[in-house]
Amino acid sequence: MDESMKFKRSNGIELDMNDDETVTISSFLHDVLAGEVMHDLELKMVVSKDTAEIISIDGKIKTPDYLNCHEALEGLKKLEGLSFVKGFNKQVLSLMGGVKGCFQFNNMLVQVGASAMVAHLFGTEEGIMKYINWVKRCKGNPENVKDNIEFRLKQVPELTNTCYVCRYT
């Protein structure tokens, strides 16, 4: 393929454990096609560690595709008060999907959802260490995974049925 037609996406998420009660989640997405910046987006929200609810949210479109892209940001405020625990992606699509929002921001929100759950479930030093130890016990030990998943679901019931591994059987 001709290098001048190359597409490159850079994105990232950063969690800042502000205090015992909140976490600030920042996300960015940067798309370049054929050397031209297509998307340059930022998303920032403050989330409750206790409830995993969005306290505040703000987005920026630094390089819009079209002049009216900024209008899609108005819908982000509808997400304040939503919890990341279960059904978040469905709620985002209901409030921001299709012509109600921005496809790229919706993709960012889905990715941020997993990070928000990490902050909610493991947002203390003790919680992070428990999670790291759990992952280490599972890695390379398939026979331990089922017992460890059952143990984790008892410890953190919010994970039940959130993915294939954490399905309740």
CA 167 to chain centre: 20
- Are both 64 and 31 inside the same structural domain? yes
- Digit-by-digit pLDDT tens for the chain (169 residues) are 566 789 999 999 988 887 878 889 999 999 999 889 989 999 999 988 888 889 999 999 998 777 788 888 888 999 999 988 778 888 888 888 888 888 888 889 888 887 777 666 666 677 777 777 767 766 766 666 666 667 667 766 777 777 777 776 6
- Are both 52 and 131 inside the same structural domain? no
- Are both 91 and 135 inside the same structural domain? no
- Are both 139 and 58 inside the same structural domain? no
| Domain-located, residue 27 | yes
- Are both 96 and 34 inside the same structural domain? yes
What is the pTM for the complete model shown? Answer: 0.75
- Are both 110 and 142 inside the same structural domain? no
Beta sheet of 54-63, edge-to-edge order: 7-16, 22-33, 36-48, 54-63
Instruction: Give alpha helix (H) positions in the chain.
Output: 88-96, 103-122, 125-138, 142-155
Whole domain around residue 103: which residue ranges? 3-121
| Strands 22-33 and 7-16, bridge-based pairing | antiparallel
Q: Which residues pair with 39 in a beta bridge?
A: 31
The number of distinct structural domains making up the chain is 2
| Domain-located, residue 69 | yes
